[in-house]
Structure 1
Amino acid sequence: MTQQALEYLLYRVRSFKLHGVHSPFVFNLYNQVILHNGAFYAYPRVEAVREDLLLDNRTIEVTDLGAGSNTIKYKNRKISDISRTSLKPAKYSQLLFRLVNYYQPKYVFELGTSLGITTAYLAEAARKAHVYTFEGCPNIAKEAKKNFDYLHLRNITQISGNLDETLKLQLEQIPQLDFAFFDGNHRYEPTMYYFEQCLAKAHEKSVFVIDDIYWSSEMKRVWQEIKKHPQVGQTIDLYFVGLVFFRTSQPKEHFTLAF
């Protein structure tokens, strides 16, 4: 059994379903949003773009500023290969859609655009929101822009460059950060640095989503540190992503829920 398979097995043992949730806030979120299995108008629109990307054999040069891919190590990559290894599966992309649809944030940050599938879901879920998406590779950012234009999404602002430099500058331009998806770097120190920066603009109702919390030992360490952070109130471990809340109206609690 691989380490990843063992981690997932342990998660399944730890996790529980709706009947085991005693927090009304988490109970409602789990029932109405996380486990929601109905259809939304955006799903087929965005998934059609994903299908096209998976069949796109054009090659682009990729600049990796983060931890990179676990499976693809060469610079010139097919769009189809990037799509297959880097895009969030529909199950989790659509969870992001439902979270944004439920909370209707005004200011949304996505740290790591890739080809823009999750960005599209975020923008579709709250058409009046300002969605800022950060991407280190200019060639990937160009491909994502084509997808946004195809879907007629006008509420997305793309920011290209090194996240170490661009994140702080953009945070200074917004009054608050309502929703953030962290998928820009899968190493401990950069991820914690970005998290701390974003905390400066977080508030009681902010929602942060941390991607790939079991991807590596460094990301597992990130998740444990976030859970212990004094500004963090509640967390929900869904294995592939972790949800972070800052509600001071209820006790600090951590949940591992089946998803």
Structure 2
Amino acid sequence: MLFQLQSYLKFLWHSKNEHAVHSPFVFSLLTKCFYDKKSKSEYAILRKYRNTLLANSNSIEVTDFGAGSKVFKSNTRVVAKIARTAGISSKRAELLFRITHYFQPETILEIGTSLGLATSAIAMANLKSKIITLEGCSSTMAIAKSQFQVFHFDNVNPIVTEFSNYLSDFRLQTLNFKLIYFDGNHSKKATLDYFEALLPTITNDTLWIFDDIHWSPEMEEAWQIIKNHPKVTVTIDTFQWGLVFFRREQPKQHFIIRT
């Protein structure tokens, strides 16, 4: 907790808003998407999705996995508590909705479904998109699947799998995910393994979003390595997320942005 507080204070010291951004691409993203304060009708559906989970007092067996297939934690938890403490916040869900709506990606991969709170934001932003969402825990995915059916998120394909097994499939190289949301394993090794495994899928319009880039010293190290990768051009640090672009026409730039 102390590390995260120190990281946040450092972030605040270095962070800027749209007035200090001289990239037309990033300036447009900030003004038309990040800082769009207009209410959206979809936000009410996102709140309803969340409230349904918060009202669920059932207990389920939750299993978490490491970078490989080794189980490192299994326990019983109440669904409502998972939604309250482990899921994406309402503010972040709305921002994720706006980002997805802004770019309108046709093909999306989410690594780490949990209860589907982030998935619902992605799905609502472009109902014509095709979304694959991966989860290692069958119990939380069962809840998410039920939610997807109730809310008619027919564009979501939920898959229970160990992440590295799925990403090692050579057929991934034939896919071009326009958006990938990384929220499955917050360790340096896993993050970099996923990064390398998915590089063959990038296009000029690809956007990757990494969650919890300041979660720990090793996650910050992973973020630095990703920023410096030769195929990465523009990166945006919002403290919670790291956004990564591969636009060849853009000069290599890094932005630290308050949201």
TM-score category of the 2 structures, normalised to the smaller one: over 0.9
- 1: CA distance between counterparts of 2:143 and 2:201? 30
| 2:48 corresponds to | 48
The residue type paired with residue 257 of structure 1 is I
CA contact (8 A) 1:66 1:186 kept: no
| 2:204 corresponds to | 204
Are positions 1:223 and 2:220 aligned together? Answer: no
- 2: CA distance between counterparts of 1:58 and 1:39? 32
- 2: CA distance between counterparts of 1:123 and 1:228? 31
Q: Output aligned runs, 1:9-24, within 5 Å.
A: 9-24=9-24
CA contact (8 A) 2:173 2:200 kept: no
Are positions 1:84 and 2:91 aligned together? Answer: no
- 1: CA distance between counterparts of 2:174 and 2:251? 29
Are positions 1:100 and 2:100 aligned together? Answer: yes
The runs of 5 or more residues in structure 1 that have no matched partner are 68-72
Deviates more, 1:202-211 or 1:215-224: 215-224
CA contact (8 A) 2:133 2:156 kept: yes
Deviation track 1:113-141 (CA, whole Å, cap 9, x = no partner) reads 01001101111111111100000000110
Give how far 1:219 is off. 1.0
Secondary structure of the structure 1 residue equivalent to 2:168 = helix
The residue type paired with residue 97 of structure 1 is F
Secondary structure of the structure 2 residue equivalent to 1:60 = strand
Q: Output aligned runs, 1:165-176, within 5 Å.
A: 165-169=165-169, 172=172, 175-176=175-176
| 1:70 corresponds to | none
CA contact (8 A) 2:63 2:74 kept: no
User: Structure 1 vs Structure 2: percent identity of aligned residues?
Assistant: 39
CA contact (8 A) 1:66 1:184 kept: no
| 2:7 corresponds to | 7
- 1: CA distance between counterparts of 2:45 and 2:170? 29
Give how far 1:194 is off. 0.7
Deviates more, 1:240-249 or 1:171-180: 171-180
Deviation track 1:205-249 (CA, whole Å, cap 9, x = no partner) reads 100000000011121111111100111001000000011001111
- 2: CA distance between counterparts of 1:228 and 1:184? 22
Give how far 1:170 is off. 8.4
Q: Output aligned runs, 1:237-256, within 5 Å.
A: 237-256=237-256
- 2: CA distance between counterparts of 1:14 and 1:208? 22
Give how far 1:18 is off. 1.3
| 1:30 corresponds to | 30
Deviates more, 1:151-160 or 1:170-179: 170-179
Secondary structure of the structure 2 residue equivalent to 1:64 = strand
The residue type paired with residue 130 of structure 2 is H
Normalization by structure 2: what TM-score? 0.94
CA contact (8 A) 1:46 1:120 kept: yes
User: Number of paired residues?
Assistant: 254
Give how far 1:40 is off. 1.8
Normalization by structure 1: what TM-score? 0.94
- 2: CA distance between counterparts of 1:55 and 1:170? 41
The residue type paired with residue 251 of structure 1 is P
- 2: CA distance between counterparts of 1:45 and 1:174? 34
Give how far 1:198 is off. 1.4
CA contact (8 A) 1:234 1:246 kept: yes
Give how far 1:66 is off. 3.7
Give how far 1:175 is off. 3.1
Deviates more, 1:211-220 or 1:51-60: 51-60
CA contact (8 A) 1:186 1:218 kept: no
- 2: CA distance between counterparts of 1:138 and 1:52? 19
- 2: CA distance between counterparts of 1:170 and 1:129? 23
| 2:138 corresponds to | 138
